[in-house]
Amino acid sequence: DSFLVCGDLMNAFETLSSLPGSHLMPSWFSDYNHRPGFFGIFDGHCGSEAARYSAEQLTQYVYNELSAEVSVPSGLPLEENLGEVLLSAIAKLDDKFCQLCSEDGRNWESGTTAIISAIVDDRLIIANIGDCRAVLCRSVESTSDQRREEILR
């Protein structure tokens, strides 16, 4: 089973920061020219539990990491630190899911692969989990349109 998370990171963080008991939106997050984007594709193996949990919870884990004072060292811009934030959030999400797999009599053996990307201003950060890969392309003209007068020659 595959799950797609695609969204506006700022909207997700604004929602999370308004929940009771949550941290406020990090003040340094408004320093960017464009709203950050956050995207993920999760492909479950041996069941959908891991893919579903990851798709539903990753934004919360990233938010928690960004909200923690230790996550963003003073003076270090988000785009320089986001890779580490993603790694930490993914590791904590994995630890929690592994606990959930055996709680309350569960016997989940599912896993997930994932491609996760974040865009902050002109930076693209991509993380992969498992055997999936991302392909980065750019638009270049490889052919030109034929014009009628050229065809008639």
DSSP state of 8: E
Q: Domain 2-152 belongs to what topology?
A: Phosphatase 2c; domain 1 (3.60.40)
**DSSP three-state, residue 22:** coil
Torsion-angle region of 114 (φ positive above 0: left; ψ -120 to 50: alpha; else: beta): beta
Domain boundaries, the chain: 2-152
Low-confidence stretches of the chain (pLDDT < 50) are 21-22, 24, 28, 70-72
Q: Phi first, then psi: what are they for 68, rounded to 5°?
A: -75, 135
Q: What is the pLDDT of residue 32?
A: 58
Q: What is the pLDDT of residue 1?
A: 61
Rounded to 5 degrees, what angle do the CA atoms 43, 52, 68 make?
Answer: 105
